[in-house]
Amino acid sequence: MTHFVDIGALDDVPKQGARVVKTAQGCIAVFRTADDQVFALDDRCPHKGGPLSEGIVHGSSVTCPLHNWVFEMNSGEAQGADEGHVRTYPIRVEHGRILISAGLMARRVA
Amino acid sequence: MKRKLVVIGAGMASGRMLEQLFDANPDAYDVTLFNGEPRGNYNRLMLSPVLSGEKTYDDIVTHDEDWYVAHGVDCRFGQPVVRIDRKNRVVHSNHSSAEYDALVIATGSAPFIIPVAGKELPGVVTYRDLEDTNAMIEAGMAGKDAVVIGGGLLGLEAAAGMASRGAKVTVIHLMDHLMERQLDPAAGYLLQKDLEKRGITVHCKGATKAIMGNGRAEAVLLEDGTVYPADLVCMAVGIRPETRIAVDAHLEVERGIAVDDALRTSDPHIFALGECVEHRQQLFGLVAPLYDQAKVLAKTLLGEEAAFQPVQTATKLKVTGCDLFSAGDFAEGEGREDIVFRDPGRGIYKRLVLQDNRIIGVVMYGDTVDGNWFYGLMKEGTDIGEMRDTLIFGPAYQGGAAPDPMAAVAALPPEAEICGCNGICKGTIVEAVQNGATTLDAVRATTKASGSCGTCTGLVQQVMAFTLGGDVAEAPEGMCKCTDHTHEDVRRLIKSMGLKSIPAVMQELGWKSVGGCHSCRPALNFYLLAEWPLEYRDDRQSRFVNERNHANIQKDGTYSVVPRMWGGVTTPDELRAIADAADKYNVPMVKVTGGQRIDLLGVKKEDLPHMWADLNQAGLVSGHAYSKGLRTVKTCVGSEFCRFGTQDSTGLGIRLEKLLWGSWTPHKVKLGVSGCPRNCAEATCKDVGVICVDSGFKISVAGAAGMEVKETEHLADAATEDETVEIITAFVQLYREHAQYLHRPWKWVAKVGLDWVKEQVVDDLDNRRDLVARFEISQSVYRKDPWAEHSTTLETPKWAPLADFTLEAAE
């Protein structure tokens, strides 16, 4: 069972925007959609390493700011003609707080 | 012997429960009914028609005195219960007490009062029961100012009710659009439009700061400084379960009173139902699940097995003339698909959310007659694969063969209206085609069909194809996959239809996606701010990263910082401040740019606001070296120092830059001003170039020095500096108003023709001055340093990571 830790208020992340969580394994991008869904993905495009957290969020997708690769945030899969996958992490919202998988606090991935 | 049942609260849930109980077994219990309100059960859902004057209290009573007498209910109305003695099984009000074998708590909910100054002033009311409703009616609303705080179901019903009694109503809503829990932005937009049509002012994204008034409510102040006059303030921001009596009795209470499937609380003799309960972490506010609870509890009380299972419910707004329907889950998600139907002309929006060929969500606005049919399909989990193509058109269109669009068009009579905006019928289009209009543009030019909102474009093309007996030339390509409208059409329609927000454009122009894409959103944002500089508020999340972060992103995710140097001129103090910032923030590279500026490369995002706070301190502002806007004005030293210089090119460059900076344009704009034809500022490959000569100034435009290289073309000769500045300003504004997003001036001028541009900004003096005036209006908003607002102590933390686990791991 996944354990969750509180990383902040939902309102700390702008609608159709993202914030970053730094972990020992690299940065995680925490996204919030127009309808208040949240997603956690590696903040690194598999193409050229672009910071996905700075991409334009539309629907439940995000467009990488460097070369416009589009990823579906539920699955982390690249859309359209591009092929690639971004790792996703368990995340949820409870009482207006964002909770993320506690596993990300570890020094190394087990 | 009859057992004793005590019920606390005579609301709709407990009323229905008692009906069920008496129907099943009238002799099982002696019932005592306490109620805080001095009356029995009435239909609370019908308070809004009472408020609006369409109904009276008597119309909405569900259980009158005769009913209570007939069933032998001992009514203790106007007596709120103050204590439950669980040990002796007795409840007490301030006037009486009653013993029980079984106790039902049905205390409902209480309105949520936001904790702002002035909330206790006379004139501030909630909207929950008949007392509230009567208070509003008695306050006399005709001609008065009323403010409703909360744009949810309840708030809007209150607003509509007061408006129909003649009040001037303003609704203040915290979220981006009305009824955000039931509606998506498109439907929320249509609802807002309908309410505004009936004179209700709607203020979204409005946070109430205080209710002001001397002795009674007089006005409402928002966080953004807006003040609305208010003789009456109605708070309708939400409800919370009324659990105080249960908490005092030490029953298990979460957000609501915790109950199991049989609606039993943590005390086996005490039950609860209605809005005061929490069942499996869920609260209930709509009537359908409450009636289900009533049925279950009646059985439980009679010793029968029964279990409450919440089902999805649908919402409707009871405001005459605002037709909306909402049910299920309409968030986007993996494997979910949308079927969207929009009819902008009639203000209709329908959206079905599908997953695995089943409907899981429905949002409808304007035409909701099929709502219950969709809702039925959703509840039953019907596989809609077979009827998917025509599903959105409702039950009337199911069954039979798939319709052939050409046959349908062929069958239309000549007088059938095709273009609703311009009232063009099929016969007119057929005639135009037969007279030689064989392209869509030609048909638009001769008949106006599909020339306004454009939604009938497909139909017009079908009529053309039918008339010509073959395919027609395709319509020009749309902006992006979200729409078939071209950039030009979208710009024109934003203006002609008065569209002032991204959801408004998407709804009225029939966007095919729900929230646009990375391609159309930045374009729409620009078109809106260019058209409505004073009314439209820039949408930061629809901006590309560079314009959102006011810095240019580099391949490694760091940014470049370029302070503005007016006309390329700087001072030792500015240079020292730049050097200090470079040192302090460990800037790996300092470079001089092609536009005569200093570029600090490799800056981390979280350092940006701090670095800019330092630079602002030294008087430096953003150089916008990242924007689709004015970049730089490159100058030579001109007559001040140069022995060849004919005019003060440096001074003119600085003047132009101070005038134009901060303005957003379809693509970047670079200027050059050279003091003589030797052209040291390389002005003749810029978007706008000025070459100073003895007799004045030669202005040329539409140069390029990127992937395309192109010399500027001569626009005008001006005798004075003032005239030069005016012509250039007018040219920039014309470009802002007409060019397609991401087209540089050279591309746009090639499209519209230099002659047309000359007519607009050189020959027609009035037009030139109008353009300059419109530019100035826009600049009154945008001529400012973005960092002034982003490097404040309040904003700076938003640039840093939300959480840093690397620190915690190291501890």
Between chains, do B541 and A68 touch, taking CB under 8 Å as contact?
no
Task: Using CA coordinates, name the residue in chain B closest to A8.
Answer: B802
* A73–chain B nearest CA distance, Å: 8
* B553–chain A nearest CA distance, Å: 8
Q: Which class would CATH give B323-397?
A: alpha beta
Nearest to B543 by CA among B520, B516, B522: B522
At residue B672, the 3 state secondary structure works out as strand
Distance between CA atoms of B520 and B504, rounded to whole angstroms?
Answer: 14
Number of domains in chain A: 1
* B199–chain A nearest CA distance, Å: 28
Could you tell me where in chain B the CATH 3.30.413.10 domains are found?
630-782
Contact criterion met (CB below 8 Å) for B507 and B349? yes
pLDDT (tens digit per residue) in B161-211: 888 888 899 999 998 899 887 888 888 888 898 889 888 999 999 999 999
Confidence category of residue B810, pLDDT binned at 50, 70, 90: very low
User: In this structure, what are the phi and psi dihedrals at residue A45, rounded to the nearest 5 degrees?
Assistant: -75, 135
Of A77-81, B320-324, B401-405, B803-807, the least confident: B401-405
In a domain, A100, yes or no: no
Greater confidence, B116 or B457?
B116
Rounding to the nearest 10 degrees, give the CA dihedral for residues B454, B456, B460, B463.
Answer: 180
pLDDT at B408 (0 to 100) = 66
Distance between CA atoms of B683 and A46, rounded to whole angstroms?
Answer: 42
Average pLDDT, chain B: 88
Mean pLDDT on B140-158:
87
Which of chain A's residues have a Cβ under 8 Å away from the Cβ of B518? 55-56, 58, 63, 68, 70
Amino acid code (one letter) for B19: E
Output DSSP code: residue B1.
-
Contacts of B530 by beta carbon, 8 Å cutoff, 6+ apart: B664, B736, B737, B778
Q: How many residue contacts between A and B have a Cβ separation below 8 Å?
A: 110
Mean pLDDT on B477-506:
88
Amino acid code (one letter) for B281: Q
pLDDT at B316 (0 to 100) = 67
Distance between CA atoms of A96 and B8, rounded to whole angstroms?
Answer: 32
pLDDT at B401 (0 to 100) = 46
User: Containing H/E element for B65?
Assistant: helix B65-70
In a domain, A2, yes or no: no
Residue A71: which region, alpha, beta or left (left: phi > 0; alpha: psi -120 to 50)? Answer: beta
Contacts of B716 by beta carbon, 8 Å cutoff, 6+ apart: B699, B727, B758, B761, B762
pLDDT at B515 (0 to 100) = 84
Tokens of B473: 């030339």
Could you tell me where in chain B the CATH 3.50.50.60 domains are found?
3-109+241-301, 113-237
Strands B630-635 and B669-674: parallel
Question: What's the ipTM?
Answer: 0.92
Strand positions, DSSP E, B46-192 = 74-77, 81-85, 90-93, 97-99, 102-105, 109-111, 124-126, 145-149, 168-172
In terms of Cβ atoms closer than 10 Å to its own Cβ (0-12, 13-18, 19+), residue B198 is middle
Task: Using CA coordinates, name the residue in chain A closest to B547.
Answer: A54
pLDDT (tens digit per residue) in B456-486: 777 788 888 888 876 555 556 688 888 888 8
Count CB-CB contacts under 10 A for residue B148: 32
User: Containing H/E element for B715?
Assistant: strand B713-718
pLDDT (tens digit per residue) in B79-100: 999 999 999 999 999 999 999 9
In a domain, A9, yes or no: no
In terms of Cβ atoms closer than 10 Å to its own Cβ (0-12, 13-18, 19+), residue B679 is middle
Name B698's bridge partners. Answer: B691, B717
Q: Angle at CA B177, nearest 5°, toward B172 and B179?
A: 85
Tell me the fold of B113-237.
Answer: FAD/NAD(P)-binding domain (3.50.50)
Contact criterion met (CB below 8 Å) for A63 and B517? yes
Mean pLDDT on B547-565:
94
Mean pLDDT on B301-314:
84
Contact criterion met (CB below 8 Å) for A64 and A50? yes
What is the DSSP secondary-structure string of B290-326?
HHHHHHHHHHHHTT----------EEE--BTTB-EEE
The CATH number given to B545-626 is 3.90.480.10
Per-position b or e across B333-357, b if 16+ CB within 10 A of its CB:
beebebebbbebeebbbbbbbbeee
Distance between CA atoms of B771 and B195, rounded to whole angstroms?
Answer: 35
Print the domain residue range for A36. 15-89
Distance between CA atoms of B365 and B579, rounded to whole angstroms?
Answer: 59
Compute CA distances B35 → B10, B11, B74, B131, B753, whole Å. Answer: 5, 8, 11, 14, 78
pLDDT at B350 (0 to 100) = 87
Compute CA distances B789 → B448, B541, B560, whole Å. Answer: 47, 16, 19
Task: Using CA coordinates, name the residue in chain B closest to A62.
Answer: B518
pLDDT (tens digit per residue) in B756-787: 999 999 999 999 999 999 999 999 999 999 99
Q: Residues in chain A whose beta carbon is closer than 8 A to a beta carbon of chain B?
A: 7-8, 12-17, 19-24, 27, 30, 33-35, 37, 48-51, 54-60, 63, 65-66, 68, 70, 72, 74-75, 98, 100, 104-107
Rounded to an integer, what is the distance from CA B63 to the centroid of its chain?
42
CA atoms within 13 A on the CB side of B618: 22
In a domain, A99, yes or no: no
Task: Using CA coordinates, name the residue in chain B closest to A53.
Answer: B545
Which of chain A's residues have a Cβ under 8 Å away from the Cβ of B355? none
Q: Is the pLDDT of residue B125 over 60?
A: yes
Tokens of B427: 């016969």
Nearest to B195 by CA among B224, B172, B220: B172
Q: Is the pLDDT of residue B402 over 70?
A: no
In a domain, A8, yes or no: no
Count CB-CB contacts under 10 A for residue A10: 15
pLDDT at A110 (0 to 100) = 43
pLDDT (tens digit per residue) in B332-355: 777 788 888 888 777 888 888 888
Q: Is the pLDDT of residue B403 over 60?
A: no
Q: Which class would CATH give B630-782?
A: alpha beta
Could you tell me where in chain B the CATH 3.90.480.10 domains are found?
545-626
A31: CATH = 2.102.10.10
Between chains, do B515 and A65 touch, taking CB under 8 Å as contact?
no
Contact criterion met (CB below 8 Å) for B146 and B230? yes
Give a three-class secondary structure readout of B477-538.
CCCECCECCCHHHHHHHHHHCCCCCHHHHHHHCCCCCCCCCCCHHHHHHHHHHHHCCCCCCC
Q: How many residues can be counted in chain A?
A: 110
Distance between CA atoms of B4 and B182, rounded to whole angstroms?
Answer: 41
Contact criterion met (CB below 8 Å) for B771 and B729? yes
Which positions of B make up the binding site for [4Fe-4S] cluster?
Answer: 636, 642, 676, 680
In a domain, A61, yes or no: yes
Compute CA distances B723 → B345, B688, B720, whole Å. Answer: 46, 15, 5
Cα dihedral across residues B709, B714, B716, B721: positive or negative: positive
Distance between CA atoms of B5 and B249, rounded to whole angstroms?
Answer: 18
In terms of Cβ atoms closer than 10 Å to its own Cβ (0-12, 13-18, 19+), residue B783 is middle
User: In this structure, what are the phi and psi dihedrals at residue B629, rounded to the nearest 5 degrees?
Assistant: -170, -170
At residue A79, the 3 state secondary structure works out as coil
Tell me the fold of B3-109+241-301.
Answer: FAD/NAD(P)-binding domain (3.50.50)
Contact criterion met (CB below 8 Å) for B525 and B542? yes
Which of chain B's residues have a Cβ under 8 Å away from the Cβ of A50? 557
Confidence category of residue B380, pLDDT binned at 50, 70, 90: confident
Q: Residues in chain B whose beta carbon is closer than 8 A to a beta carbon of chain A?
A: 176, 184-185, 330-335, 513-518, 521-522, 540-545, 548-549, 553, 555-557, 798, 801-806, 808-809
Strand positions, DSSP E, B37-100 = 74-77, 81-85, 90-93, 97-99
pLDDT (tens digit per residue) in B413-442: 787 777 766 678 888 888 888 888 877 777
Distance between CA atoms of B716 and B705, rounded to whole angstroms?
Answer: 21
User: Containing H/E element for B192?
Assistant: helix B185-197
Tokens of B31: 């019932």
Rounded to an integer, what is the distance from CA B166 to the centroid of its chain?
28
**For domain B406-540, which CATH number applies: 3.90.1570.10, 1.10.10.1100, 1.20.120.430, 3.40.50.360?**
1.10.10.1100
Distance between CA atoms of B294 and B13, rounded to whole angstroms?
Answer: 6
Task: Using CA coordinates, name the residue in chain A closest to B808.
Answer: A105
Distance between CA atoms of B6 and B93, rounded to whole angstroms?
Answer: 12
**Helix, strand, coil % over all residues of chain B, rounded to 5:** 35, 20, 40
pLDDT at A109 (0 to 100) = 46
Q: Is the pLDDT of residue B452 over 70?
A: no
